[in-house]
């Protein structure tokens, strides 16, 4: 699992150069498709990491009267809320050439 905490991805929306985005594939739609799949992977990684950390604070009481604030739990949640969005991380990785992708062979040689 990659460390997403040290990413240089922007936290807010910015405009990217279309030419730089499509440069590796020479097709903007293919580039966006690859980045969206990577963003889904990043999102899943972050979600599972957050759930693992929040499970440390879980209490298994059925009583609603014993609800209390856990400041550490709130800080963990806020930290993950402040991280750049998975799409920003995926675009940053794409522009740095850190995303591995491959195109399956589309030849019809094996159809006989």
What are the extents of the domains in the chain?
26-59+68-101
Q: What is the pLDDT of residue 111?
A: 47
Number of Cβ within 10 Å of residue 92's Cβ equals: 18
pTM for the model: 0.77
Q: What is the pLDDT of residue 110?
A: 45
> Per-residue pLDDT averaged across 73-85, rounded?
87
Residue 75: pLDDT band by 50, 70, 90 thresholds?
Answer: confident
Distance CA 64, CA 54 (A): 19
CA distances from 3 to 8, 41, 49, 75, 110 (A): 11, 13, 11, 18, 41
> Per-residue pLDDT averaged across 80-94, rounded?
92
């Amino acid at each position: 699992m990659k460390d997403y905490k040290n990413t240089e991805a922007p936290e807010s929306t910015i405009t990217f150069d279309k030419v730089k985005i499509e440069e590796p594939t020479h097709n903007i739609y293919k580039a966006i498709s690859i980045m969206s799949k990577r963003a889904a992977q990043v999102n899943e990684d972050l979600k599972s990491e957050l759930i693992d950390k929040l499970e440390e604070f879980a209490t298994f009481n059925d009583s609603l009267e014993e609800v209390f604030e856990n400041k550490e739990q709130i800080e963990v949640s806020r930290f993950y809320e402040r991280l750049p969005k998975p799409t920003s991380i995926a675009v940053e990785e794409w522009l740095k050439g850190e995303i591995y992708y491959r195109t399956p062979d589309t030849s019809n040689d094996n159809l006989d």
